[in-house]
C-alpha cells in the first residue's frame, strides 16, 4: 500500500502535524490541509491494524485524531463520509435491514485427508484438460463471514452471510473494524463497483480478555471466538462493537463492474493471488502474506499438513485451509455446482468439537459461595484432550442452552479456552431425558441457598461453610495469586480436615512438627513448603489483592487497585465514587471492593496478614516509568537474572506496553531469559516476533 518513499514522507509529516497540534492556530493548519491530516491518520491505522506494526504511540495517534475531530465538530461542513472520525459516534442502530448479495455466498466443499484433495485435483484436471494445476492455498479463517460493497471508491455497505442469498446489512458495525478502509481507490484498477468477501474475527488475546471480563462479572464466557465475532456484529450499540476490537481478513472478490476499460485491461489481476495483492495494495488486510502458491496437489497436501502444526501459534483461530485454483479464467471455466465452486475446496483441520452425552450434574461450592453446576459427560476427545466434566455456570445458562440429563451435546475446546458446551440437540431426545434439578440447600453445609434478585447465581451465604473457607485458601495459594508452590489444592484440603488451617493467616502458622508426621512429608518437602510460604510474603501488592478473592476482582482489577495506593489499607479510605474513577472499575466492582474494606472481619484478617510480614506496601510504585512501550506487546520466558518476573511485567505495563500470555503473531517482543524452552522455539518460527534478551529489554526502558 505504501512504498518506502511514501512511508518516510508520511512519517515526516506526522512529526510536523504532532508539532502543529500544539500550536494555538491549529485550526488554520487543518483548514489548509484537512485531507493531509486524514491521510496521516489512515496511514497510521493501516500500520497498526493491517500491518500490525505501528510507527507512533497510541497517545500520538489519539492527539492527531482528537485535533481532527474537534475541527470537524467546529466546521461540520468539512466532514466527509470516509473521514477516520466517521467510524464512531453513530450511536444506536435500530435494525439490520435485509439486503441481497450481488452474487450468492456459496459455501465450500470440505475435505479431510490427502485422498479427498487428490480427488478434487483429479476432477479439476479432467474438466480443464490440464496436466497440472496451480493452486493458491490460504488459511480458512474461523469467524463470521461478511460481504462488502464499494461503489465509486467508497464503502457502500457491509452485509452478513444470512442464507447466502440475502443477509443483514451491518454497515455501521463493519465501520468499527479499523482494518476495513472506508474508502479505497478501486478506480485505479478500472473498477466502479465491487463486492468482496471476508471473515470477521476476534483474535485470541482479545477473546481471552473479553471472556476474562465476563467471568470477572460473573457472566458465563463464550464458547469460541467465532461466536464472539458473530455476536459482536449483531450488537446495536456501535461504541460497544468498537470496544470489541474486531479484525477482518478479506479474501475473495465476488463481483466487479468496470468503470474504465483501459485501467481494467492493464491493471486488473488475472489470478487469485493477484486479487489478494490488489486488495492489500488498496489497504485491505488480505491474506497476501499468509497465502502460498503451489504447482500440483502433492505440494499442497504437504503444506496443509505442515500449516496445521502452526495453528496454535497464530494470533487468531483458523479451522483449516482453503485451496483455490489460482487462474481466474480457469476458475470461470470450472464453474459451480449448486452448492460449491468447483475451483476451491476447504481442507478441515482436526476438529476441536465433539459430541457427547450429559450424564449427571454435580453442584460445587466456590470461594464466594457460588453454587456452580458441573456437567459430568461421557468422556470425549476434543482437540487432543479428554473432556469428562464441564462447567455449566448457572441456572439461566442451563435454560438458555436447553440442557436436560441424557441430552446429546456439542462440546468445543477452542485454543487454550476451557471446554464449553456449544449447544444441545433437543431433536435427538427419546423422552427419557430428565430435568436438571437445582438444589435448594448447600451441598456442602446444608444451609439454605440464596439468590439476590440482580444475580444469576445461587449462593451459600454461610461464611463458616467449609467450601467457602477451603476454596478461598486454595485460591490464595494458587499460581496466579500468591503462588505458594507445593501447597496445592490437595494439601489445603488435607490440612483443613486435620484442623491445621481454618483461615488464610493460618497458612503462615502451619504446625510443621505435626505435618512431619504425615505420610508423604519428608524433611526435604517440608523445607520446600516452608521456603515457598516464606517467599510468598514478598509477593507484590497486586497479587495479594487478587489472592484475597474479593468478588469481581480479577488479576487486571487487582493491578488497577494496587497502582492506586502506596499501602493496601489505603483502599479502605476510598468511597465507592472514588473507586469508580479508577480505570475499568464499574459500579459492581466498586461496591464489592468498598464492602470488603468496610467489613470488620476482613480488616482484622488483613491486620493479621500485615503482622505476619506480607507485603502491604506498593513496591512497584518506585519502579522507573515514563518510557514508551506504548502499543508494543511483550511476553517473558525462561529465568530472568536481574529482574523478578513480576517486576519485569509491571515495568511493561507501567511504561504503556501490553503483556500477552502466549506466543502468537500479535506478539512484538519475546524476552528470553535463561533456559527458555518451547515459547522461544515457537517464536523463532514467527518472523514478526522480535526475540530479545533481558539486557535488551532493560535498554528499552528509560534510564
Ligand atoms: S473462499 C466462493 N476463503 O469458509 C467461495 N472462504 O464454507 C468463497 N472462509 O463461507 C469463499 N476462510 O466464510 C474462502 N480463505 C478463505 C476462507 C473462507 C474462511 C469461510 C467462508 C465460507 C466458508 C466455506
Nearest one of 565, 536, 416, 400 to 478, comparing CA atoms: 536
Hey, whose CA ends up nearest to atom 9 of ligand 1? 140
When pLDDT is averaged across residues 625-639 and rounded to a whole number, the result is 79
Q: Identify the helix (H) or strand (E) that includes residue 144.
A: strand 144-151
pLDDT digits (tens, 9 = 90+) for 41-98: 999 999 988 887 888 888 889 899 999 999 999 999 999 999 999 987 567 888 899 9
Query: How far, in Å, CA of 351 to CA of 342, rounded?
Result: 24
When pLDDT is averaged across residues 15-30 and rounded to a whole number, the result is 90
Sequential DSSP letters for 35-63: HHHHHHHHHHHIIIIISS--SS-HHHHHH
What percent of the chain stands above pLDDT 90?
67
Nearest one of 470, 468, 586, 555 to 594, comparing CA atoms: 586
What's the pLDDT at 631? 72
What's the pLDDT at 662? 80
Catalytic residue from among 70, 94, 140, 559: 140
Nearest one of 61, 29, 22, 18 to 43, comparing CA atoms: 61
Residue 105 alpha carbon, nearest atom of ligand 1: 2
To the nearest whole number, what is the mean pLDDT of the chain? 91
Residues with CB under 6 A from ligand 1: 106-108, 138, 140-141, 145, 197, 199, 251-252, 322, 341, 344, 346
Q: How far is the CA of 682 from the centre of ligand 1 (A)?
A: 27
* Higher-confidence position of 351 and 434: 434
pLDDT digits (tens, 9 = 90+) for 417-464: 788 899 999 999 999 999 999 999 999 999 999 987 778 889 998 888
The answer on pLDDT for 257 being more than 60 is: yes
Residue 550 has what DSSP assignment? -
When pLDDT is averaged across residues 359-378 and rounded to a whole number, the result is 94
- Which of the listed ranges 269-278, 517-526, 675-684 does the model predict with the highest average pLDDT? 269-278
- The pick from 142, 145, 319 for probing ligand 1's pocket by mutation, whose C-beta has the most ligand atoms within 8 angstroms, reads 145
pLDDT digits (tens, 9 = 90+) for 114-167: 999 999 999 999 999 999 999 999 999 999 999 999 999 999 999 999 999 999
Hey, whose CA ends up nearest to atom 2 of ligand 1? 106
Q: How far is the CA of 108 from the centre of ligand 1 (A)?
A: 7
Beta-bridge mates of residue 252: 197
Hey, whose CA ends up nearest to atom 13 of ligand 1? 145
Q: How far is the CA of 107 from the centre of ligand 1 (A)?
A: 7
The answer on pLDDT for 621 being more than 60 is: no
Q: How far is the CA of 193 from the centre of ligand 1 (A)?
A: 21
Q: What are phi and psi of 330, to 5 degrees?
A: -65, -35
Looking at 25-29, 330-334, 341-345, which range is the least confident one?
Answer: 25-29
Q: Identify the helix (H) or strand (E) that includes residue 678.
A: helix 678-684
Between CA 226 and CA 233, with CA 232 as vertex, the angle to 5 degrees is: 95
Hey, whose CA ends up nearest to atom 1 of ligand 1? 252
pLDDT band for position 622 (cuts 50, 70, 90): very low
Beta-bridge mates of residue 347: 111, 321
pLDDT digits (tens, 9 = 90+) for 522-537: 999 999 999 999 999 9
What's the pLDDT at 543? 94
What's the pLDDT at 356? 95
Q: How far is the CA of 252 from the centre of ligand 1 (A)?
A: 8
Residue 341 has what DSSP assignment? B
The answer on pLDDT for 624 being more than 50 is: no
Hey, whose CA ends up nearest to atom 6 of ligand 1? 140
- The pick from 288, 322, 328 for probing ligand 1's pocket by mutation, whose C-beta has the most ligand atoms within 8 angstroms, reads 322
- The pick from 141, 148, 279 for probing ligand 1's pocket by mutation, whose C-beta has the most ligand atoms within 8 angstroms, reads 141
Helix (H/G/I), strand (E/B), else coil: 636: strand
The answer on pLDDT for 629 being more than 90 is: no
Cell of 437: 434439578
Query: How far, in Å, CA of 363 to CA of 369, rounded?
Result: 11
What's the pLDDT at 611? 96
Helix (H/G/I), strand (E/B), else coil: 463: coil
Q: How far is CA 698 from CA 104, 105, 264, 624, 642, in A?
A: 55, 51, 53, 11, 9
CA-based R_g, the chain, Å: 29
Q: What are phi and psi of 621, to 5 degrees?
A: -60, -25
Q: What are phi and psi of 323, to 5 degrees?
A: -105, 120
pLDDT band for position 626 (cuts 50, 70, 90): low
What's the pLDDT at 508? 97
- The pick from 326, 346, 347, 349 for probing ligand 1's pocket by mutation, whose C-beta has the most ligand atoms within 8 angstroms, reads 346
Burial bucket for residue 174 (CB in 10 Å: 0-12, 13-18, 19+): buried
Hey, whose CA ends up nearest to atom 17 of ligand 1? 140
Exposure string for 582-617, b = 16+ CB within 10 A, e = fewer: beebeeebbebbbebbeeeeeeeebebbeeeebbbe
Q: How far is the CA of 261 from the centre of ligand 1 (A)?
A: 29
Residue 144 alpha carbon, nearest atom of ligand 1: 13
What's the pLDDT at 415? 63
Residue 145 alpha carbon, nearest atom of ligand 1: 13
The answer on pLDDT for 363 being more than 90 is: yes
When pLDDT is averaged across residues 232-241 and rounded to a whole number, the result is 91
Q: How far is the CA of 196 from the centre of ligand 1 (A)?
A: 12
| Residue 140 a catalytic site member | yes
Q: How far is the CA of 145 from the centre of ligand 1 (A)?
A: 8
Hey, whose CA ends up nearest to atom 21 of ligand 1? 145
Residue 638 has what DSSP assignment? S
Amino acid at each position: 500500500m505504501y512504498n518506502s518513499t511514501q512511508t518516510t514522507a508520511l512519517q515526516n509529516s506526522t512529526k510536523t502535524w504532532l508539532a502543529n497540534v500544539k500550536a494555538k492556530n491549529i485550526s488554520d493548519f487543518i483548514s489548509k490541509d484537512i485531507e493531509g491530516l486524514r491521510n496521516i491518520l489512515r496511514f497510521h491505522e493501516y500500520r497498526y491494524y493491517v500491518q500490525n506494526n505501528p510507527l507512533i504511540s497510541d497517545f500520538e495517534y489519539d492527539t492527531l485524531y482528537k485535533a481532527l475531530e474537534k475541527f470537524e465538530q467546529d466546521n461540520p461542513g468539512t466532514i466527509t463520509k470516509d473521514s477516520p472520525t466517521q467510524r464512531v459516534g453513530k450511536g444506536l442502530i435500530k435494525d439490520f435491514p435485509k439486503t441481497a448479495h450481488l452474487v450468492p455466498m456459496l459455501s465450500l466443499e470440505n475435505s479431510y485427508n490427502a485422498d479427498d484433495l487428490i480427488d478434487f485435483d483429479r476432477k479439476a484436471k479432467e474438466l480443464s484438460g490440464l496436466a497440472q494445476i496451480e493452486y493458491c492455498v490460504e488459511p480458512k479463517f474461523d469467524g463470521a463471514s461478511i460481504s462488502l460493497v464499494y461503489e465509486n471508491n467508497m464503502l457502500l455497505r457491509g452485509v452478513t452471510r444470512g442464507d447466502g442469498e440475502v443477509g443483514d446489512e451491518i454497515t455501521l458495525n463493519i465501520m468499527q473494524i479499523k482494518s476495513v478502509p472506508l474508502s479505497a481507490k478501486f478506480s485505479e484498477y478500472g473498477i466502479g463497483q465491487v463486492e468482496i468477501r471476508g471473515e470477521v474475527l476476534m483474535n485470541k488475546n482479545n477473546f481471552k480478555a473479553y471472556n476474562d471480563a465476563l467471568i470477572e462479572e460473573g457472566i458465563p464466557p463464550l464458547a469460541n471466538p467465532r461466536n464472539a465475532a458473530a455476536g459482536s456484529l449483531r450488537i446495536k450499540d456501535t461504541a460497544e462493537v468498537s470496544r470489541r476490537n474486531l479484525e477482518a481478513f478479506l479474501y475473495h472478490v465476488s463481483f466487479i463492474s468496470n468503470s474504465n476499460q483501459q485501467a481494467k485491461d492493464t491493471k486488473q489481476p488475472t489470478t487469485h493471488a493477484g486479487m489478494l495483492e490488489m486488495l492489500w495494495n488498496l489497504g485491505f488486510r488480505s491474506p497476501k502474506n499468509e497465502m502460498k502458491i503451489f504447482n500440483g496437489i502433492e505440494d499442497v497436501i504437504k503444506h496443509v499438513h505442515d500449516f496445521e502444526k502452526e495453528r496454535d501459534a497464530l494470533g487468531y483461530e483458523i479451522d483449516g485451509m482453503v485451496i483455490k485454483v489460482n487462474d481466474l479464467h480457469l476458475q470461470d471455466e470450472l464453474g459451480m455446482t449448486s452448492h460449491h465452486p468447483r475451483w476451491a475446496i476447504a481442507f478441515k483441520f482436526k476438529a476441536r468439537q465433539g459430541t457427547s452425552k450429559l450424564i449427571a450434574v454435580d453442584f460445587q461450592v466456590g470461594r464466594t459461595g457460588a453454587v456452580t453446576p458441573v456437567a459430568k459427560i461421557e468422556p470425549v476427545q476434543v482437540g487432543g484432550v479428554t473432556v469428562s466434566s464441564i462447567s455449566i455456570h448457572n441456572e439461566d445458562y442451563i435454560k438458555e442452552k436447553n440442557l436436560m440429563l441424557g441430552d446429546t451435546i456439542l462440546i468445543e475446546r477452542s485454543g487454550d479456552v476451557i471446554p464449553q458446551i456449544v449447544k444441545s440437540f433437543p431433536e435427538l431426545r427419546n423422552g427419557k431425558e430428565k430435568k436438571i434439578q437445582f438444589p435448594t440447600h448447600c451441598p456442602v453445609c446444608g444451609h439454605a441457598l440464596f439468590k439476590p434478585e440482580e444475580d444469576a447465581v445461587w449462593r451459600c451465604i454461610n461464611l463458616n461453610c467449609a467450601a467457602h473457607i477451603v476454596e478461598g485458601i486454595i485460591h490464595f495459594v494458587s499460581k496466579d495469586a500468591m503462588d505458594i508452590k507445593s501447597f496445592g489444592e490437595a494439601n489445603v484440603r488435607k490440612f483443613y480436615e486435620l484442623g491445621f488451617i481454618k483461615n488464610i493467616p493460618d497458612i503462615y502458622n502451619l504446625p510443621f512438627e505435626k505435618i512431619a508426621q504425615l505420610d508423604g512429608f519428608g524433611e526435604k518437602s517440608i523445607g520446600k513448603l516452608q521456603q515457598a510460604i516464606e517467599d510468598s510474603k514478598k509477593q507484590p501488592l497486586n497479587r495479594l489483592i487478587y489472592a484475597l478473592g474479593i468478588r469481581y476482582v480479577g488479576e487486571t482489577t487487582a493491578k488497577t487497585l494496587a497502582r492506586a495506593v502506596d499501602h493496601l489499607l489505603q483502599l479502605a479510605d476510598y468511597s465507592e465514587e472514588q473507586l469508580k474513577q479508577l480505570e475499568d472499575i464499574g459500579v459492581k466492582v466498586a461496591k464489592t471492593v468498598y464492602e470488603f474494606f468496610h467489613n470488620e472481619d476482613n480488616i482484622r484478617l488483613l491486620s493479621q496478614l500485615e503482622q505476619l510480614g506480607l507485603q502491604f506496601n506498593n513496591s512497584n510504585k518506585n519502579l522507573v516509568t515514563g518510557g514508551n512501550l506504548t502499543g508494543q506487546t511483550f511476553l517473558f520466558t525462561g529465568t530472568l537474572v536481574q529482574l523478578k518476573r513480576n517486576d519485569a511485567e509491571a515495568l511493561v505495563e507501567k511504561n504503556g506496553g501490553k503483556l500477552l500470555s502466549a506466543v502468537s503473531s500479535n506478539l512484538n517482543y519475546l524476552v528470553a531469559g535463561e533456559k527458555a524452552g518451547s515459547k522461544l522455539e515457537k517464536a523463532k518460527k514467527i518472523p514478526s516476533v522480535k526475540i530479545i534478551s533481558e539486557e535488551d529489554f532493560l535498554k528499552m526502558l528509560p534510564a
